[in-house]
Amino acid sequence: MNVYDSDKIRQSFENCGYEIADSVQDADVIILNTCSIREKACQKAFSFLGRVKKLKINKQVTIGVCGCLAEQEGANIIERMPYVDFVAGVNAIYRMPEIVKKAEDKKCRPVDTGFDSPAGEPLCQTSKSRVDISEFVTIMRGCDNFCSYCVVPHVRGREISRKPKNIINEIKMLVANGACEITLLGQNVNSYGKKEGSVTFERLIELVNEIEGLKRIRFTTSHPKDLGDNLIEAFKKFEKLCPHIHLPVQSGSDAVLKRMNRKYTIKDYIEKIEKLRKTVPNIAVTSDLIVGFCQETQEDFNMTLNLIKHIQFDGIFAFAYSPRPNTLAQKFKDTASEQEKKERLYSLFNLQEYYTKKKNAAFVGTEQKTLAEGLSKRGLLKNEKKEWTGRTDTNKIVNFITSKDDNPTGKIVNVKIEKTFSHSLWGIL
């Protein structure tokens, strides 16, 4: 979502005649888009701001902070770092050039946060050279779930869905400019359109599925409590919808899930995964987990390990619990020490690594429909052959060489998988 927002900020500046600088050192305006999901992300932002301070010594530079940390901290940022010229919260990102103009006049240091003024619609335009094979499109903003550990509802505000027409137009524009795959973004896509009484998420997928030239559809994130049969059926119904679901479970213990205010039990979660796998046998399932949440005992954590063994995810993202301002969990005791959190995270990753490798190994000898995205990081190999990169429909990274000379970028090609690594597959076209 931040990548998407940063891209929209860039587009709005280009529309006002700004050019994108090659490096931070060359820039006249530096805008830092921030995340505040965990303390580490906030520290990274502050340390970046510490580093750019010296750029102001020799030249006129306007420095602004936007996004979730800006929303959370507001004017505190300017108090703490007086060389910051403006602070723009989550809804303000569509007013950026105006805010920068004010800041450049040096008459004030604007702080534009809060949710009183509307977020507005993201710009629906682009320059052709910048459209990637795989693009994101935000379909909704904010979140109403208030998981007790999570800062998102506090910094991104209440859930608002974009109009289907605007989403479809944006996707059509991206496809016309070369995009082949679209990932629909929202904190909880299952509740798309519910508040507004527009169309359901499944209907939105159907509309996107009809867009000519679009090859693949993905979405993230789905909340286990709201994942219904209609969405499960959608994987069978819409041929462009890729067989991959990211379904954050967060913990394997019902007691912890309750404290997290997740509103489902492990039994509910397992049932949903079973239904998904019954409906779409090759579906890849990935998840998010938090270790060391308030009052998580070793027994609770063992339940998380057992869940990993039971479900056998294709991949996970796991995080040590990080207390966040204004969240309900601030009232609970953060019992696990940093060392305990680290150890639990380590054993979780260790266990998952075994399943990721096992799942990947099963691909050897198979042909995988891969959407080629361009040259791999290695690009040109020593033997002068080019190495390409892409993703399977199950969202696994595939690096591959081709016996022919043509450029496969933007095509779905059948790659024969020869080798697998922890986080990628390798094959020949």
Cβ pair 244, 283 in contact under 8 A: yes
Contact status: 147 vs ligand SF4 (CB under 6 A): yes
| Cα distance between residue 218 and residue 371, in whole Å | 13
What mask, x for binding ligand SF4 by CB under 6 A, covers residues 167 to 196? --------------------xx--------
Residue 145 binding target from ligand 5AD, ligand SF4, none, CB below 5 to 8 Å by type: ligand SF4
Cβ pair 11, 125 in contact under 8 A: yes
**Binding positions for ligand 5AD, 23-42, rule CB under 6 A:** 37-38
Residue 292 binding target from ligand SF4, ligand 5AD, none, CB below 5 to 8 Å by type: none
Helix (H) or strand (E) holding 298: helix 298-311
Helices 266-279 + 298-311 axis angle, to 10: 10
Between 284 and 291, whose beta carbon lies closer to ligand 5AD? 291
| Cα distance between residue 321 and residue 336, in whole Å | 9
The pair phi, psi for residue 219, each rounded to 5°, is: -145, 155
Q: List the structure tokens of 150.
A: 């999570």
Contact status: 150 vs ligand SF4 (CB under 6 A): yes
| Cα distance between residue 365 and residue 207, in whole Å | 36
Contact status: 321 vs ligand 5AD (CB under 6 A): yes
Q: If phi over 0 gives left and psi between -120 and 50 gives alpha, with beta otherwise, what is residue 409? A: beta
Contacts of residue 35, Cβ cutoff 8 Å, sequence gap at least 6: 2, 41, 42, 45, 67, 68, 69
Residue 188 binding target from ligand 5AD, ligand SF4, none, CB below 5 to 8 Å by type: ligand SF4
Would you mind telling me the total number of residues written for the chain in this entry? Answer: 429
Residue 37 binding target from ligand SF4, ligand 5AD, none, CB below 5 to 8 Å by type: ligand 5AD
Contact status: 152 vs ligand SF4 (CB under 6 A): yes
Q: If phi over 0 gives left and psi between -120 and 50 gives alpha, with beta otherwise, what is residue 301? A: alpha
| Cα distance between residue 346 and residue 78, in whole Å | 37
Contact status: 250 vs ligand 5AD (CB under 6 A): yes
Task: Pick from 136, 192, 219, 319 the residue near ligand 5AD by CB under 6 A.
Answer: 319
**Binding positions for ligand 5AD, 269-298, rule CB under 6 A:** 288, 290
- Part of the chain binding ligand 5AD (CB under 6 A), chosen from 94-102, 199-207, 317-325, 357-365: 317-325
Residue 223 binding target from ligand SF4, ligand 5AD, none, CB below 5 to 8 Å by type: ligand SF4
Residue 358 carries which side chain, given as an amino acid letter?
K
Shortest distance, position 321 Cβ to ligand 5AD, whole Å: 5
Between 93 and 143, whose beta carbon lies closer to ligand SF4? 143
- Part of the chain binding ligand 5AD (CB under 6 A), chosen from 69-77, 100-108, 113-121, 318-326: 318-326
Q: Which residues bind ligand 5AD (CB under 6 A)?
A: 37-38, 149-150, 248, 250, 288, 290, 319, 321-322, 324
Q: Which residues bind ligand SF4 (CB under 6 A)?
A: 143, 145-147, 150, 152-153, 187-188, 223
